[in-house]
Amino acid sequence: MEKTATPTQPKIFGILAEFGSPNEVYKAAKKVRDQGYKKWDVHSPYPIHGIDSAMGIGDSKMGWIALFSAFAGAFGGFSLQYWVSVYAQPVVIGGKPINPYPAFIPVTFEPGVLFTAFGCIIGMLVLNGLPRLYHATFKSKNFARFSDDGFFISIEARDKRFNVSETRKLLEDAGGRNIEVLED
């Protein structure tokens, strides 16, 4: 018995809609947020003032990552100096104490700064989901204009509220044009 291949439907990534101005995409972002979507993004050639609040994006976690990295680096630098001075190579010079804390300050500060820099770079990459070499929006011919004069909203199919017809209707009602379903 010969097996025949069944045609598979392309997997839907989401829906992309174009808007005419920053004001239009701002208002549309509020409507998408109010409908409860979580997996979506606004694409614009430049930052739009207030778009993060319109999208419902909370405070960044980068401050906490930087603080934790700074404390880890400073604690590591101080601990290394303390261990060397007190346990590994205790040397009393001129009657000074074995653990001279003021002398530890410069070397405690430097790994704090170094770990903060590395923590911020790694944290930024992880939080942004980078490196990402491919995105389904790149298949759209209209999306090529986003870096020049286009304003877009893309809603991903992995969102719990995603439904092709309802999501398309929402974007149409919000003023979207050139609405297209993106295939992965």
- Across the chain, mean pLDDT equals 92
182 and 39 Cβ atoms separated by less than 8 Å:
no
| C-alpha of 88 from chain center | 43
Quick: pLDDT tens for 69-104.
Answer: 999 999 999 999 999 999 999 988 888 888 888 989
Record the tokens describing residue 78, joined without a space: 């101080």
CA distance 73 to 90: 23
Token digits of residue 110: 């430097």
Domain ranges of the chain: 12-56+129-183, 62-127
pLDDT at 2 over 60: no
158-183: pLDDT as tens digits: 999 999 999 999 999 999 999 999 99
Which H or E run contains 165? helix 164-173
